[in-house]
Structure 1
Amino acid sequence: MRSPDLTAIDHRPWPVPSTAWTWQQEWYDLLFAHWPIEVSELRALVPPELEIDTHSGAAWIGVVPFRMRIKRRGMPGVPTASHFAELNVRTYVKLDGKPGVWFFSLDAESRLAVWGAKRFFHLPYYHAAMQTKQQGDWIDYVSTRRGVADARFAGRYRPIGPVAFAMKSSLEHWLTERYCLFARSKRGAYWCGEIHHSPWPLQRAEAEIRENTMLAPLGLATSDADPVLHFAKSIDVALWPLQKVTVL
């Protein structure tokens, strides 16, 4: 796993934190699948202190399957929690004008990673049975949340175009170039997690989704519109410790 490149920063919407980053990750074989959704459908599911971010008047919800490697900076990876599949369900928000990601759920196949992320990052992680397989240029991906009847994704996806970097005014840029996440603890405190990576090396993608009930626990369903699909082969990421934020 390569160390993240902190020399390429011109693409960022704000400077990298002045403190040292503490975790490094590699996200790979990643699919962004996004659907437009009415703000009113999300409003009750997102804390009222957060503004739901929109593009051309529409909110968006994403289902993002991928595989990842993770380790603490300067330390070896933990065997049972350093390399695993993950799938998140997300939307986009602002806090005091700062854009970021709000996660509705994050499913992972590592029990230890789920425990650590819930305990120290205040994120809604769930343990899932997950299988991924490379078949030519297709990634076959199946995830079933343990103990939940309706939280399953099954399908396959692949890139179908050359690598390109999204233009700043584009929907692709708005959906993917996000450099922080927001989380809320069980006690109601808000936290911001800063991240850094190079610009996303995106490719157009196609997907054959056999089953997707990842929105069912939220009482939502994807729209009839075809999803907006993007693929990324790999990206290296630096993460900073969460910082508590004041919400007025």
Structure 2
Amino acid sequence: MFSTRPLAVTVDDVCFCHWPVDADVLSRSVPDWLTVETADGDAWVSAVAHTVTGVASFGVDLTRPAEAVNVRTYVRGPDGQRGVRFLAVFTDDPLAATFSKPALRLPYREGRLDRRDDDGEYRTRRTLDVDGRRVLDVRYTPGDGETTTAPPDSVAAFLVERHRYFTTDGFGTRLVGSVGHDPWPLGSVDADVSGSLLSALGLPDPAGPPLVHYSPGTELGLSPPRPLWLD
């Protein structure tokens, strides 16, 4: 059952794929009023592949289940507030993109997403861009153990526990939105990640192999962004 939040999004089967990248090069891909944040000496770009099992506003169901991948990096705002900057959002639900783009000011992109279970042995997620290029392939097997939450001040917490996002409107106004949720439940996962996602988005090459986290899912409470000076 959905909560009575203004916008509640339930996500399942969430695979976080994180790449370390050069902070100076990545800074060219974010507005100059944001500062790229680092962990373990690197900036990070993450692709969060997930299934949206429902979207509701004040308890009223708005859309059907859909596949999605959001691509983000980690930044601080002008006053040091920690958050994320979305670099791209792929979804196979055109209605969600049509209505969410003006409301949430997120950079939706056209593409084709596919998720499959292979006889229970492993799962695959494939994302193709509008030109049919395979930009992200994730083949993974979640572990059977209990989930835990990321320890405070860990790299895992840095990468998954974010409650604020920064964006701009068509006039260049600096905006901030919130994403409320309980700490992500994280479980073990065996994963293989490939594709040309970073280069397809004009982002720097990875400085190392991807780090992967898995969550069975959670509910997110989203608020539309508002001018930063009101935050």
Report if aligned partners of 1:63, 1:89 keep a CA contact under 8 Å in 2.
yes
Q: Distance in 1 between matches of 2:60 and 2:24?
A: 45
Query: Does residue 74 of structure 1 match 2:56?
Result: no
Q: How many residues align?
A: 226
Query: Does residue 189 of structure 1 match 2:173?
Result: yes
TM-aligned CA deviation for residue 35 of structure 1: 1.4
Q: In the alignment, which of 96, 108, 112 is matched to residue 91 of structure 2?
A: 108
Change (3 A) 1:245 1:63: same
Q: In the alignment, which of 203, 210, 217 is matched to residue 220 of structure 1?
A: 203
Report if aligned partners of 2:2, 2:59 keep a CA contact under 8 Å in 1.
no
Report if aligned partners of 1:137, 1:159 keep a CA contact under 8 Å in 2.
no
Change (3 A) 1:32 1:222: farther
Q: Distance in 1 between matches of 2:221 and 2:62?
A: 15
Q: Distance in 2 between matches of 1:29 and 1:77?
A: 20
- Equivalent position amino acid for 1:237 in 2: L
- Give SS of 1:114's match: helix
Query: Does residue 61 of structure 1 match 2:38?
Result: no
Q: TM-score, normalised by structure 2?
A: 0.90
Q: Report the equivalent of 1:120.
A: 103
User: Cα RMSD between the aligned structures?
Assistant: 2.0
Q: Distance in 1 between matches of 2:40 and 2:46?
A: 17
Q: In the alignment, which of 162, 166, 174 is matched to residue 150 of structure 2?
A: 166
Q: Report the equivalent of 1:86.
A: 68
- Give SS of 1:192's match: strand
TM-aligned CA deviation for residue 47 of structure 1: 0.4
- Equivalent position amino acid for 1:93 in 2: V
- Equivalent position amino acid for 1:109 in 2: D
Change (3 A) 1:42 1:221: closer
Q: In the alignment, which of 221, 226, 231 is matched to residue 243 of structure 1?
A: 226
Query: Does residue 27 of structure 1 match 2:46?
Result: no
TM-aligned CA deviation for residue 25 of structure 1: 0.7
Structure 2: runs of 5+ lacking an equivalent: none
Structure 1: runs of 5+ lacking an equivalent: 5-20
Q: TM-score, normalised by structure 1?
A: 0.84
Q: Distance in 1 between matches of 2:132 and 2:99?
A: 24
Query: Does residue 3 of structure 1 match 2:9?
Result: no
- Equivalent position amino acid for 1:88 in 2: N
TM-aligned CA deviation for residue 181 of structure 1: 1.0
Post-superposition, which runs of at least 4 consecutive aligned residues in structure 1 deviate over 4 A? none
Change (3 A) 1:198 1:131: same
- Give SS of 2:85's match: strand
Report if aligned partners of 1:150, 1:216 keep a CA contact under 8 Å in 2.
no
Q: Distance in 1 between matches of 2:17 and 2:138?
A: 12
- Equivalent position amino acid for 1:3 in 2: S
